Each structure stands twice: as C-alpha cells, then as structure tokens.
C-alpha cells in the first residue's frame, strides 16, 4: 500500500483531443515494481468497488477511455496501468510475462490488499488468466476480452525439438533487442500515426485513432511517436505458448466471463468459440460477438460494458 505516490488528480493531457464518449482518468499515480516506474490510472470515485483493468499489447491504459468510464458509471473504481514499455511507464531491459504479472500485483497492492475482479483485453486477458491461477487469493472474478488462446496450427513436435525452437526463439528475441535498444520509433504527424495504426486496426474509425494519438503518442522536435519501446515486437513479451494458458483454464477457481470478437483481423488471436469451449472452467460464460473484431470494447463499448457490469453484479 505504501509503494506509490499520487502525482496528479486528473490525467488529462494539455494536448488531448476529444472523442464521443471518451473520458480521461480521474486519478494518475506512479507505482514502483521491482525498481521500474509504472503509470497507473483511475476512473471513478475513491469509494467505488475496485476492479483491475489490463490493456493489450502495443496499447496503453488510455485505450480504455471509452470503456472504463462506463464501468466507473456503474459504481466501480476502475484501476488501469501502462504495461512496462508502454505508454508512460518506464522501459525495461527485457520483457517477459512473469514481470508483467508482478507489475499487475504491484498496481493492485497500491490500491488494496484485498482480492478484486480483473478485466483484461488481448495480452491483458492472457495476463489476467495467469494471475488468476498463480495468485487466486487476489482475484474474485475474471473477464477476458478476446485474449483467449487456441492451439497453433502446426503439427505437434517432440519435447527435444520444442526446446530447440525455444532456444532459437530466445536467441532471435535477444538479437533483436541488441539491435533495437537505442533506436527510436518512426516519427510522423498525428494523421500519419493514425493512418499507420489503421492498417493494423482497419475496423476502428480514423476519428478514434486520431484521438488515440493525442493520448498515446508524444510530440518531439521531429514529429510524433507512439509511446512504446521500439525494442518490443509483436509476440515479444517473453516466451509464451498458447497451450500453457489452455492447460491452466480448467483450473481457474473464480467466476469467468469470456468475450470473443468473431471477426478476424491482424492484431487478433484468431480464436473461435469451438477452440476454447472444451477448456473453459466449470460455470464459465462464453459470449461470442458477431460482427465485432478484436477490439470489441472499442467497437461496441456499451455492449461489452453491459456484459461486464451484469457479470460482476
């Protein structure tokens, strides 16, 4: 409880744009996690019931600016944070899933020593799955927003070959880190950054992405850059196999809601309902959303928020 300091009472930025339904966090503070400084945010009143909100990879807490306020208006004290290397959190020497789990617990410790519900999107949903299995004493309920794993479409291989692949994967990641640790992300105008992001998120409106630039990018002398460590790459948050999360899911001992965006897109996981139904823990709810993609909470914030609020109630 004593590992954080309140920095400002409102997290809105002087350069923040506007978007219908978007609302800046009400609180902002810094959390120390293993010596790394993390940016934490709160939507809602201090006397609300706390819920921990975890964003996806290559995102940041402010991507929840339309979704989190809806949970806050439902009486919740919504706490999010920028993952290490993302947003206004510090960059790390290396990235791995275990460190992200420790960060989530550190943020949780900064607000309460009690168990709370966790809502996670994409990578954040996978982190929430892991956190619910290794720290069940801190989790009362779990909501996974399109962050459910499925088996890879490759034939099974021997354990020996799997270890070889892991060594190769780790070597490639470390080599990339050595090349990229001093590099900078490519600059551009706010419009250019929004258009680049739209290539990966074609289902999201340009208006939303332009707003996202104002809260998720930083202006420098030669242009704007996304607030992301350039040494990170997709899938580069540490070695992970979808099977590891699948194997954990049946043992989750708290109520679970899983929301799947059925429309496939580049940043999605490609998971279909039939991929995960056999692995869900007893009593878990699975809600596939037709006509919705990976960023369901941005495409349909009201629909997803109502599902979450009803589940948490």
For residue 103, the model assigns a pLDDT of 97
Counted residue by residue, the chain has a size of: 313
235 or 90: which leads in pLDDT: 90
For residue 14, the model assigns a pLDDT of 46
Over range 11-30, report the average pLDDT: 83
For residue 161, the model assigns a pLDDT of 53
For residue 9, the model assigns a pLDDT of 43
Q: Give tens-digit pLDDT for 223-234.
A: 999 999 988 866
What whole-number percentage of the chain has pLDDT above 90? 68
For residue 207, the model assigns a pLDDT of 97
Residue 12 to residue 45: CA distance in whole angstroms: 16
| Residue 296 · residue 145 · CB < 8 Å | yes
Rounded to two decimals, the pTM is: 0.87
Confidence bin at 157 (pLDDT 50/70/90): very low
What whole-number percentage of the chain has pLDDT above 70? 82
Residue 33 has pLDDT above 50, yes or no: yes
Over range 69-86, report the average pLDDT: 97
For residue 70, the model assigns a pLDDT of 98
In angstroms, what is the C-alpha Rg of the chain? 19
For residue 8, the model assigns a pLDDT of 41
Instruction: Report the 3 state secondary structure along the chain.
Output: CCCEEEEECCCCCCCCCCCCCCCCCCEEEEEEECCEEEEEEEECCCCCEEEEEECCCCCCHHHHCCCHHHHHHCCEEEEEECCCCECCCCCCCCCCHHHHHHHHHHHHHCCCCCCEEEEEECHHHHHHHHHHHHCHHHEEEEEEECCCCCCCCCCCCCHHHHHHHHHHHHHHHHHHHHHHCCCCCCCECHHHHHHHHHHHCCCCCHHHHHHHHHHHEEEECCEEEECECCCCCCCCCCCCCHHHHHHHHHHCCCCEEEEEECCCCCCCCCCCHHHHHHHCCCCCEEEEECCCCCCHHHHCHHHHHHHHHHHHC
Confidence bin at 154 (pLDDT 50/70/90): very low
| Token pair recorded at residue 163 | 């270890």
Which domains, ranges and CATH numbers included, belong to the chain? 4-152+237-312 (3.40.50.1820), 161-226 (no CATH)
Confidence bin at 241 (pLDDT 50/70/90): low
For residue 5, the model assigns a pLDDT of 40
Phi-psi region of 105 (alpha: psi -120 to 50; beta: other; left: phi over 0): alpha
Confidence bin at 150 (pLDDT 50/70/90): confident
For residue 93, the model assigns a pLDDT of 84
Residues with Cβ < 8 Å from 52, sequence gap 6 or more? 79, 80, 104, 107, 108, 116, 117, 118, 119
- Which is nearest to 293 in space by CA: 253, 258, 264, 273? 264
For residue 281, the model assigns a pLDDT of 94
Confidence bin at 166 (pLDDT 50/70/90): low
Residue 110 has pLDDT above 90, yes or no: yes
Q: Give tens-digit pLDDT for 272-287.
A: 999 899 999 999 999 9
Q: How many CB atoms lie within 10 A of CB 102?
A: 16
Average pLDDT, the chain: 87
For residue 190, the model assigns a pLDDT of 95
Give 53's strand partners: 80, 119
């Amino acid at each position: 409880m004593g590992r954080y300091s309140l920095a400002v009472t409102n997290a809105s930025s002087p350069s923040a744009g506007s978007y219908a339904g978007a609302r800046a966090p009400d609180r902002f503070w810094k959390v120390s996690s293993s010596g790394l400084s993390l940016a934490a945010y709160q939507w809602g009143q201090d006397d609300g019931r706390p819920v921990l909100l975890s964003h996806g990879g290559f995102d940041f807490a402010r991507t929840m600016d339309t979704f989190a306020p809806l949970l806050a208006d439902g009486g919740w004290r919504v706490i999010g944070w920028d993952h290490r290397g993302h947003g206004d959190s510090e960059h790390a020497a290396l990235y791995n899933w275990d460190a992200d789990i420790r960060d989530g617990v550190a943020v949780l410790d900064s607000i309460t020593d009690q168990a709370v519900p966790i809502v996670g999107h994409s990578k954040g949903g996978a982190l929430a799955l892991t956190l619910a299995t290794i720290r069940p004493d801190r989790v009362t309920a779990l909501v996974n927003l399109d962050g459910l794993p499925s088996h890879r479409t490759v034939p099974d291989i021997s354990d020996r070959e799997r270890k070889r692949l892991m060594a190769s994967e780790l070597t490639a990641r470390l080599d990339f880190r050595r090349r990229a640790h001093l590099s900078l992300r490519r600059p551009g105008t706010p419009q250019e950054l929004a258009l680049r992001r739209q290539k990966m998120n074609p289902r999201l409106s340009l208006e939303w992405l332009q707003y996202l630039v104002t809260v998720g990018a930083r202006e420098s002398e030669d242009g704007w850059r996304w607030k992301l460590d350039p040494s990170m790459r997709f899938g580069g948050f540490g070695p992970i196999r979808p099977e590891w999360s699948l194997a954990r899911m049946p043992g989750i001992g708290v109520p679970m809601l899983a929301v799947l965006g059925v429309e496939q897109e580049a940043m999605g996981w490609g998971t279909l309902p039939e991929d995960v139904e056999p692995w869900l823990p007893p009593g878990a709810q699975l809600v596939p959303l037709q006509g919705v993609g990976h960023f369901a909470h941005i495409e349909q914030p009201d629909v997803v928020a109502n599902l979450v609020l009803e589940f948490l109630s």
